[in-house]
Amino acid sequence: MSLERRGALRANAVIPVEVRDARGFSLYSTRDISSTGLFFDRAIPFAQGIRVSLAFTLPGEGQAIRCDGEVVNVPDKKGYGMGIRFLDIAPDDARRVEEFAKETLEGA
């Protein structure tokens, strides 16, 4: 876990996420997540700038979080991994993710 350069707590966590785009949907697992976005380290990357729809449930919760995101970071275009910034996450959902990140940090 770290305080990322954008100022949001980033929790190292493996969370299944449904990612939808114009071609259909895929299921990926996060490497880390914050209230502003997430990173998949084992995903075949989409092109930077692509918009996707996301759906995931935080560990220990029953209510899914749904929002749109934009691919903003593809560290290795020949390999795997991509960062997605949340575009329209509901304020209550962002608070849930932030609380999850804080709890993960306290438990580490």
All domains of the chain in start order, with CATH: 2-107 (2.40.10.220)
- For 50-101, the pLDDT digits (tens) are 999 999 999 999 999 999 999 998 877 677 889 999 999 999 999 999 999 9
- Residue-wise pLDDT tens digits, 8-25: 889 999 999 999 998 899
Report the predicted TM-score, pTM, of the whole model to 2 decimal places. Answer: 0.87
Rounded Cα gap, residues 20 and 6, in angstroms: 25
First to last CA, the chain: 8
